[in-house]
A and B are shown apart, each in its own frame.
Chain A
Amino acid sequence: MPDLLITVQHNPVITFGRSGSRQHLLASPSDLKREGIELFEVERGGDVTYHGPGQLVVYPIVDLREHGRDIRGFVRGLEGAVIAALADFGIEAERRTGYPGVWVSARKIASIGVYVSGWVTRHGLALNVAINPAHFALIRPCGLPVETVSICDLLGRTVLLDTVRDVLLERLAEWFGWELEISSLAEILGGASGETS
């Protein structure tokens, strides 16, 4: 099975990981309903998080057995590719020890969360291109106030999510040594022989 990267934008959704606490949700059910935000509990670790329009989400489905079973390398690769892609836009970003994700001057611009089962990854990263700050204000990940920021905030101009996606995919391909083949979901799911590619 070749490695697969799924890139997507989500409708507004708040997900609770296993250590997520309802106390870290600062909105009432009617607030959420009004904003059109759905709630889900998911299998991954970590606390509450928000995904929505204006945020580039990438799900890498990668067999780590083909990459030296290097879990640390995989996480570093996701972080490194995001940092390199942001540099392409003139944004200096970094990792922070003890704080997952990618940061620009103590403001979080990308979150990283990986789940590996059978040595195959699922879940990956979410990069803020032009997020709705009112939605992010509805959660308090890890019970701490975290300031989030997006590419458009930092550059003071509109950047298309598709442009960011293309740059990030290039940087990911560089890091992991991939040759990218772009497909649509329909093509992948509906191959004539029924194979997934």
Chain B
Amino acid sequence: MTKENAAIEIRLPDLGEVDDVRVVQWLCDVGATVAEDEDLVEVETEKTTFVVPSPAAGRLAQVAAAEGATVDRGGLLGRIEQLG
């Protein structure tokens, strides 16, 4: 098995007392190169729409929560593969 580059998890921050957080729209596709802090995915509760920034520079390797999915507090949204 080849050794993979470190994958950084994209986790949902704490948006409030509502546990029901919906993924509205991914702003880039799997495979795209992203910069640290670049807008990745829009999530929404009744009170807040939050654009989740990328935790690192790299490639969006995995989308764990698709558009329309519900995510728990601290839940996994996807993974960034750090390049080189």
A interface residues (Cβ-Cβ under 8 A, vs B):
18, 43-46, 69-72, 75-76, 97-100, 112-119
Contacts and interface: CB of A to CB of B under 8 A. Distances in A.
A99 B45 CA distance: 11
B46 interface: yes
A69 B53 CA distance: 12
Contact of A71 (B16, B37, B53): B16
A100 B46 contact: yes
Contacts of A117: 39, 51
Nearest to B22: A45
Interface in B1-39: 13-17, 24, 37, 39
A89 B44 CA distance: 33
B24 A45 contact: yes
Given A71-B13, A72-B14, A72-B17, A100 B49 contact: no
B49 A44 contact: yes
A45 B39 contact: no
Given A45-B48, A100-B47, A118 B17 contact: no
A115 B44 CA distance: 9
B47 A112 contact: yes
Nearest to A116: B50
10 contacts: A44-B49, A71-B50, A76-B16, A113-B47, A114-B47, A114-B49, A115-B49, A116-B51, A118-B39, A118-B53
Contacts of B50: 71, 115-116
